[in-house]
Amino acid sequence: MTLDVFLFILRLLFIVLLYLFLMQVVIAITRDLRKTATASDNSTNQAPPVVGHLIVVDSGPSTILPGTRFDLSPQTTIGRGPTNSIQLVDNFISSEHTRLWFRNGLWYVQDAGSTNGTYVNSQPAREALAARFGDIIQVGFIRFKLAQ
């Protein structure tokens, strides 16, 4: 076998391997897409479960009535913007104010970079803070009680 032929075979092998790799990645992607598609099918069939409530204790300067209940899904955002799961129209609430999530039986509260801050039992929640049912969560100047 002459060297030219050998090098030509190497070259062909290289190109075949390159396209095999591309195919492998594409297969991995389609499998991934199918998995997320079925997962989202399952999740759209049932609305996100309500795993807690926020009850307004002190409405501060806002017009929200004390005693108003807000449903909490396992991932909840609070803010003035329309994309939040709880939209509070108040001048002291930032467009993205607070994030709450439920993991392993505990609630976690974290400020989403707001101007007036988020507090759990008067402690500023710049980093994620754990919260239990019964704790007081203050968003801007509105105070909520975390309830089941």
Residue numbers at the binding site for other proteins (CB under 8 A): 1-4, 6-8, 10-15, 17-22, 24-26, 28-29, 74-75, 77, 80-83, 95-96, 99, 101-103, 112-113, 127
Q: Which is nearer to other proteins, 80 or 143 (CB)?
A: 80
Length of the chain: 148
Determine the distance from the C-alpha atom of residue 102 to the mean position of all C-alpha atoms in its chain, rounded to a whole number: 11
Question: Please, what is the Cα angle at 44 between 43 and 45, to 5 degrees?
Answer: 90
Q: Which is nearer to other proteins, 19 or 68 (CB)?
A: 19
| Two tokens, residue 40 | 């989202």
Q: What is the SS3 assignment for 85?
A: coil
CB 69 → other proteins: shortest distance, Å? 22
CB 65 → other proteins: shortest distance, Å? 25
